[in-house]
Chain A
Amino acid sequence: MCGIAGVIHRDGPADLGAELTRMLQSMKHRGPDSTGYALYGPSDDLVVIRFVLAEPLKAAGLGMAERLEKNRAEIESRLNKIGADVATMTSETGYAFRATVRYSGELKPLADYLEDVPGCEVLSLGNALEIVKDLGDAETVAEQYRLPGFVGTHGMGHVRMATESDVDLASAHPYWAYPFADVAVVHNGQLTNYHQWRRRLERSGHRFQSECDSEIIAVYLAEKMAGGDSLETAMKQSLDDLDGVFTYLCVTGNELGVAKDEMAAKPLVLFESDELVAVASEEIAIRALTGTDVETRDPYEREVLVWQV
């Protein structure tokens, strides 16, 4: 089933971590298996890298602590070798890391070089985007990664009910649009022409972290935008190019967009005011954010909406 939620503040930064946690926790019934966030903090000159070195359920085995530390040191060494000056590197879990680096080169070689380290998966790269995801409900993940207090202008999240793939981090949303900075997607639905698009994008040189159809949307949109399309144009084109039933959200460094397929088969409700735009699979998540009964509406089939910070 899965649940998605997104927020964009038009009047300046807010406690995104706490807000999205409330929204996602209220939709736990739509997906208790894993929870993920794409948060946009203040953009600066540093590149933020979120990466993992092991699946959560495999991180505590015999000798794993030593192996994780060895691989973390290898990541740090590779960052230095490729010319990325490491400013900070922290971890709340021992297997998921946040690094900030001074780096002005291409992101793709950086991501590829890091992912060559055993077990490494780059969750996000960019000047503002930070993807955090793990197993469990929103409150569990938020507490684990100390997300309340994360201040930013916009973000989105996903609660997952595993149906066609495993309960693991690789299958958890959001998906970063490798190798494009600051673009991420969450999705509720199924794409029926997944393999066709995956082959096409792989031929263009893109790699995929997962077998999940949702990752296609992120890379598809980012490639369109890299070719000069606006987010809105790319999302509208996706309605013709992607088959299936879906509602998805896409965030960039300064935008939040939503798209519904032509059957309007997957839910989405929208609240919009001068200060705030909030979208979610269910009204209960909007109420969890605003704390009051507010007027919401369901976007219709083939509707694409984009808001800017």
Chain B
Amino acid sequence: MAGLSSSRSGVNYDARGLAEPDAVAPEIAEIDGTTAHFDATDLSTRLINLELKRLVNVEGMEEVTIRNPGSKHSIGVGILRRCRINVEGSPGWFAFGLIDGPEVHISGRVGWSCAENMMAGSVIIEGGAGSLTGAALRGGDLVVKGDVGARTGIDQKGGTIIVMGNVGINTGFMMQRGRQIICGNAGDHLGDSMYDGTIYVAGRIASLGVDCVPGAWTDADAEFVNRKFKIHGLGDPPEFQKFICGKQLHNYDSLEPSERKLVM
């Protein structure tokens, strides 16, 4: 690991930008045709991501498996190609944020802010997830099979978040577009201050947030939920309640900013 600033515990730190100024991809992956795998036990976040990007962007791998991520933060951020990435273990915070295209499968759980700002692709998490999961999600599917913390899909702008377990307080806070499918219970202030979008909840709801109101269930809702469950092999969907924006809180009109200038 050339250029690494290593501590006595073997954990490498890049807080405050002190470590790895000249790091290069370690090139440790074993490659078999268009698939590759490597062990991340002794790698820092930066080296994991350099290796991952080398495999995807330079070597053209279609499938990469990362073993033993050790809850390190920011793994897989900014992958912009279509490929499949398997993570055997549990990444830490900010995993697979800002991705555009990859299909990610995580066998463990994830920390806070997984798939933040994801633009396209999918992230499937077999375990649970921390708070801020899917924050500012723009597109793609994010599936969490366990429980999720607070503020799931805060500022969501598109895409779909599916949670098979429970979610915490302020789920869907200020969401603008997209859909959330919550199979378990939801904490207080569901959909608080949402601008738009749809939240489906199967379990109990502690309380609705400001301007979040029940919506009428339609055939299109059923078709959407069934399709998502089928795509991700989630079995038969439970019965959901639907929640939408009451459109009483924010200033709504149908004009784009440029159109508004003309009108004004």
Chain A residues near B131 (CB-CB < 8 A): 264, 267, 298
Please name all residues of chain B whose beta carbon is closer than 8 Å to the beta carbon of A21 when the two chains form the complex: 9
CA distance A263 to B187 in the complex (A): 10
Using CB atoms, name the residue of chain B closest to A267: B112
Q: Complex formed: what's the CA distance from A98 to B11 in Å?
A: 31
A296–B127 Cα gap in the complex (Å)? 9
Q: Is the CB of B15 within 8 A of A283?
A: no
Within the complex, which residue of A264, A267, A298 is in contact with B128, where a contact is CB–CB below 8 Å?
A298
**Residues of chain A contacted by B111 (CB below 8 angstroms):** 267, 269, 282-284
B11 close to A300 (CB less than 8 A):
no
Contact of A284 with B72 in the complex, beta carbons under 8 Å: yes
A167 at the interface (CB under 8 A from B): no
Interface of B is mostly: loop
In the assembled complex, B86 has its CB within 8 A of some CB on chain A: no
A29–B45 alpha-carbon span in the complex (Å): 13
Check A282–B169 contact: CB distance below 8 A.
no
A298–B92 CB distance below 8 A? no
List the A side residues contacting B109 at CB < 8 Å: 283, 295-296
Q: How large is the interface on A (under 10, 10 to 19, 20 to 34, 35 or more residues)?
A: 20 to 34
Known contacts A29-B13, A264-B168, A283-B90, A300 near B149 by CB under 8 Å = yes
Which B residues lie within 8 Å of A298 (CB)? 128, 130-131, 147, 149-150, 168
Interface residues of B (CB under 8 A from A): 7-9, 11, 13-16, 68, 70-73, 89-90, 92-93, 108-109, 111-112, 127-128, 130-131, 146-147, 149-151, 168-170, 187-188
- A-B pairs with beta carbons under 8 Å apart, 21 shown: A21-B9, A25-B11, A32-B16, A139-B8, A264-B151, A269-B111, A282-B92, A283-B109, A283-B111, A284-B70, A284-B72, A284-B73, A284-B111, A287-B70, A287-B71, A293-B108, A295-B109, A296-B128, A298-B130, A300-B150, A300-B168
